[in-house]
Chain A
Amino acid sequence: VCVWGQAEPLNSNGQNSLLEEEEEEEEEGEDLFTGSLSVPLVLSLSRSLSLSLSLSLSLFPSATEEVSLDSPERDVLLSDGPSPVTPPASLISPHLPHNHLYTHCSFDEMEEEDTPDLFDISILVSDPEKVGEGMNAYMAYKVTTQTSMSLFKSPQATVRRRFSDFLGLHGKLATRYLHVGYLVPPAPEKSIVGMTKVKVGKDDSSSNEFVEKRRAALERYLMRTAKHPVLLKDPDLLTFLECSELPRALSTQALSGAGILRMVNKAADAVNKMTIKMTESDTWFEEKQQKFENLDIQLRKLHCSLDSLVCHRKELSVNTALFAKSAAMLGNSEDHTALSRALSQLAEVEEKVEQLHQDQAGADFYLLAELLADYIRLIGSVKGVFDQRVRLWQRLQDSLLLLQKKRDAEAKLHANKPEKLQQARDDIRELEGKVQQGERDFEQISKTIRKELFRFEKERVTDFKEVIIKYLESLVQTQQQLIKYWEAFLPEAKAIS
């Protein structure tokens, strides 16, 4: 295990949980990160087109423990939005208030709208500043948005936001869009340990590293969200980027009533999921899902490998510094003047090289490791939307089943009970409506997922390409610096006579 700046461990779906408030310490943010694949709540499609799920043991965690292996995306999906308890899937879900949920149709409209604006937006997160003292302290970040798009009130906006604000934004977006199959980028991870150090006021390299890591993650998060054509138009996102005052995000509280309800819902739904067997009529979904499963496994392995590389690189930096010191001491004790000077110069050069190694470790981490980590988390979102599609299918099936039952029952009703007959016919009409809606929803989500995955794959290529370029640039730069240092040292070495 590497001692310095270890990459934050990711849970099985690469998410942290919305259940925590960052300042409260009931729950441990450092989730289980298993390099091996004991992944609970995995949806895996076997060849026989049936869905099977393996469950984690922690179905009913204690109130103070985070349900560590679930994603906030799944939280949202499983709880059917911010409303009271969802009955088991075999019953019809209560009619949901739609005023803060977008329907599918409105999304289609949004996308087909004429967008004369070219995508042109840059978001920077910078200047972390500690606000307050002690355990109530928090870091505030400056968020600067520069854009020429008419969507925004002005071409430049600067606001200050804290971490829970980002989580709040994510919560809203997830609630609104995940249901209908959009890949909402996951928010950066919480870390109790990291934040505590910062609060306590430790101004050492590991707290600084933590803050920098978080800052970079927040920036990537916002850019990724903004790049999504539908999410970009979300009023909450726009508010987040532009408004100087933001209401404090409260739903990230751990032990709120809603929080506990969510846990219960999760459990109930998880149990039900065990029995879902979906007849997949579209092999595209099956194939994609398998591919993402594989990719998830590969990326995790890679992330582990890379961790090891970053670790060794930092070790090299430390060892180079130690060698520099011993060379300096040797130089001090040396009688021969020219040799003594050369050894002292050597020590100085090695100190510079030490910094280069440190920088390279930074590139290894911030470019490569965080890229992998981001994608592992994104795949969590992907899994989430696939799950949601299955649930919609399940609901549809349940509705169909109920409809059939009602029809059968109606057929058996005698004409001499006219009220009951009328009731039955009313019920059937209502159910037919529900079935139709269910079919539309299912169709829509399938369509949306296809579009989203297409966009995801395109973006993936862009992201990786960008990282490769930046990484190569860092490598070239390091070598050029080394050449400069050694060329400066060479005459000193030659001067020894």
Chain B
Amino acid sequence: MMEEEEAEESPPLSPSVIEGTEEVTPPLSVSPSTIRVTEAAQDGELLTFIIVSQKLSGTGEYHVDRTYEDFDWLQQHLFSLEDVPGIQGIIFPPLPARAQQNAPVKLVRQLGLLATGETWTPYCRALGAYLQQVAGHSLLSRTQHLETFLTSPEPPGRQKVKKGLFNRLSQAVEGIRKGRPHQGTEDVDDFFRTEREHNLSLTGLSRAAAERFLEVVQTEQKIAVACGHFAASLQLCVEAGDDPGQETFSKMCVKISEIMESMKKNVQKVAENDVTTLGLGLDLECRYQEAEKEMLFRRTCKLVELETASRNAERAKPLKKAAMDGDQKAAEKDFEQVSVVAKQEVARVQRARVAVLRQALVRWCELQILTATSSAEQWNQQLLAFRGPARGPGPSS
């Protein structure tokens, strides 16, 4: 189970960052680590998720139902928070891709490990992890939107997100994207230069690892199906007959069929273990890296803005000089704030992902041992029962 991805809250921000925050938003009324998406109900094409969380006051639980649109609504609002300085530096908790019943192949591929298996359980876990990350984030958890999302009986705005509120971030980014390419933008800061390279490499490698792991799981599922077929076919060999020779042979066939059935169950369990532990871990790791990549890109855009503003200020004619200087100062301050937040976020995500992977690996390992032990025991019992009490002589005519 993906419990607390974040063992600690992010460290308190420096005063220079939180200056300017006037209103005191009420803190979240639920305990972040208790947020769970317990099930997914299907109504035609529509998937509804039940979210349960414990009240901080200890007086009970909230149960709400939400659709993917609601999650999206929340995420969009997080992107467009007004009173968070340096918001561009935040590595936003990554929301899993939209899931739907009978999804087109492209979507299924996007979901990857989350779409394997017969149930929505892995997907629900991933959504739950997302909510826990948001609720555990010192800056993001303050938004009223999260409170509404988690506690309000009514689903929050199912209406389309208004243009005005739309992702300030993406607007800014879009503008710059249309301009010059940014891969080549040299970074002023060593820390970020290294971090960008590192992130680039990890993004690719983690995605590759997740894809390879997905293939392992899918092959395991194929083996389960093949075992099932074999077991079923064997049953057809069993004939009712008074012929003693036939009867004993039928018993053998039944035995092999049982073994195949138990093999099928074993492989299914292994696949399930894989997905719910390391699978989810790798999937989250991928999304973390992507989220960080986006943040680093936004910061680079800010850097470009700053460079542009500086150039404009240099070249500015005396009339506009004051204004350009002002712009440059603003850009500098902005960039600095973003960089400070970014550094903290990088550290936060680093701790978070290590914790996630640690737990995934430990839990995976433990479940593997459990499953193997129980299967070994079962087959050993069957072996002893079948072989008989004494080791008989070799096959004779």
Tell me which of B219, B354, B382 has the highest count of chain A C-beta atoms within 10 A of its own C-beta. Answer: B219
Q: Is A473 an interface residue when CB atoms closer than 8 A count as contact?
A: yes
Q: B358: which A residues are within 8 A, CB to CB?
A: 339, 342, 493-494, 496-497
Q: Is B133 an interface residue when CB atoms closer than 8 A count as contact?
A: no
Q: A316: which B residues are within 8 A, CB to CB?
A: 216, 219-220, 223
Q: A487: which B residues are within 8 A, CB to CB?
A: 369
Give A290 Cβ to nearest chain B Cβ, in Å. Answer: 11
The residue that B229 contacts in the complex, of A305, A454, A469, A471, with Cβ under 8 A, is: A305
Q: A294: which B residues are within 8 A, CB to CB?
A: 239
Q: A291: which B residues are within 8 A, CB to CB?
A: 239, 246
Closest B residue by C-beta to A294? B239
**Chain B 227-244 per-residue mask, 1 if CB under 8 angstroms from chain A, else 0:** 101100110110100000
Give A86 Cβ to nearest chain B Cβ, in Å. Answer: 34
- B366–A490 touching, CB < 8 Å: yes
With A306-B230, A468-B386: A330-B206 Cβ-Cβ less than 8 Å:
yes
Tell me which of B365, B369, B382, B394 has the highest count of chain A C-beta atoms within 10 A of its own C-beta. Answer: B365
The residue that B379 contacts in the complex, of A464, A475, A486, with Cβ under 8 A, is: A475
Q: A228: which B residues are within 8 A, CB to CB?
A: 397
Main secondary structure of the interface of A (DSSP, over half): helix
Give the total of A residues in contact with B, Cβ under 8 Å: 69
| Interface residues in B324-362 (C-beta closer than 8 Å to A) | 350, 354, 357-358, 361-362
Q: Is A436 an interface residue when CB atoms closer than 8 A count as contact?
A: no
- A228 vs B394: C-alpha distance when bound (angstroms): 15
Give A220 Cβ to nearest chain B Cβ, in Å. Answer: 11
Q: Is A398 an interface residue when CB atoms closer than 8 A count as contact?
A: no
The residue that A476 contacts in the complex, of B205, B236, B376, B396, with Cβ under 8 A, is: B376
- A333–B202 touching, CB < 8 Å: yes
- A473 vs B253: C-alpha distance when bound (angstroms): 17
Q: B237: which A residues are within 8 A, CB to CB?
A: 295, 298-299, 302
Q: Is B383 an interface residue when CB atoms closer than 8 A count as contact?
A: yes
Q: Is B201 an interface residue when CB atoms closer than 8 A count as contact?
A: yes
Which of the candidate stretches B52-60, B105-113, B207-215, B309-317 sits at the interface with the other chain?
B207-215
**Chain A 34-46 per-residue mask, 1 if CB under 8 angstroms from chain B, else 0:** 0000000000000
- B245–A454 touching, CB < 8 Å: yes
With A335-B198, A487-B369: A479-B376 Cβ-Cβ less than 8 Å:
yes
Q: Is A315 an interface residue when CB atoms closer than 8 A count as contact?
A: yes
Closest A residue by C-beta to B236? A298
Give the total of B residues in contact with A, Cβ under 8 Å: 59
**Chain A 306-349 per-residue mask, 1 if CB under 8 angstroms from chain B, else 0:** 10110011011001101101110110011110010010001000
The residue that B372 contacts in the complex, of A229, A312, A479, A489, with Cβ under 8 A, is: A479
**Chain A 107-138 per-residue mask, 1 if CB under 8 angstroms from chain B, else 0:** 00000000000110010000000000000000
With A309-B223, A319-B216, A454-B245: A490-B205 Cβ-Cβ less than 8 Å:
no
Q: Is A25 an interface residue when CB atoms closer than 8 A count as contact?
A: no
- A471–B259 touching, CB < 8 Å: yes
- A119 vs B393: C-alpha distance when bound (angstroms): 11
Q: Is B252 an interface residue when CB atoms closer than 8 A count as contact?
A: yes
- A175 vs B350: C-alpha distance when bound (angstroms): 77
Q: Is A459 an interface residue when CB atoms closer than 8 A count as contact?
A: yes
- A461–B215 touching, CB < 8 Å: no
- A322–B215 touching, CB < 8 Å: yes
Q: Is B160 an interface residue when CB atoms closer than 8 A count as contact?
A: no
Further contacts, 19 of them, CB under 8 A, given A309-B223, A460-B249, A475-B259: A227-B397, A298-B233, A301-B233, A301-B236, A302-B234, A312-B219, A312-B222, A319-B212, A323-B212, A323-B213, A330-B205, A330-B206, A330-B209, A368-B256, A472-B386, A479-B372, A493-B362, A496-B358, A496-B361
Query: What are 24 contact pairs spanning A and B, CB under 8 A?
Result: A227-B395, A227-B396, A228-B397, A305-B233, A309-B227, A312-B219, A316-B216, A316-B219, A316-B223, A323-B212, A325-B212, A326-B209, A329-B209, A335-B350, A457-B246, A458-B245, A465-B252, A468-B256, A468-B259, A472-B259, A472-B382, A476-B379, A479-B372, A494-B362
Q: Footprint of B on A, CB under 8 Å?
A: 118-119, 122, 227-229, 291, 294-295, 298-299, 301-302, 305-306, 308-309, 312-313, 315-316, 319-320, 322-323, 325-327, 329-330, 333-336, 339, 342, 346, 368, 454-455, 457-466, 468-469, 471-473, 475-476, 479-480, 482-483, 486-487, 489-490, 493-494, 496-497
